[in-house]
Amino acid sequence: MYLKKNIATSESGFIFNPSSGDSYNVNPVAAEILQQLKQGTALAAIKENILKDYEVEPMRLEQDLEDFMNQLKEANLLEN
């Protein structure tokens, strides 16, 4: 699962989809995940990285990641 190539992301959490004109605001953890997705990092590796950097239990992160990826899909930000 990759972020669409044309999606613009900023470190401060501002997301812009030029093909739809929609913009989004994300919180810091989400911004971090999006940066890594954009660089083509695999989900499993993203999970490892977040676990290393943030104070979070693996089970909770797994649940949150699944929920977040679903939200990205709903927002039409992921490559099919």
| Residue 71 within binding range of other proteins, rule CB under 8 A | yes
State both tokens at 58: 């693996």
Handedness of CA 65, 67, 73, 75 (dihedral sign): negative
Distance separating the N- and C-terminal Cα atoms of the chain: 8
| Residue 3 within binding range of other proteins, rule CB under 8 A | no
The CB-of-71 to other proteins minimum distance in angstroms stands at: 5
Cα–Cα distance, 69 to 71 (Å, whole number): 5
The CB-of-27 to other proteins minimum distance in angstroms stands at: 4
Binding site for other proteins (CB under 8 A): 15, 22-30, 33, 50, 52-56, 60-61, 64-65, 67-68, 70-72, 74-75
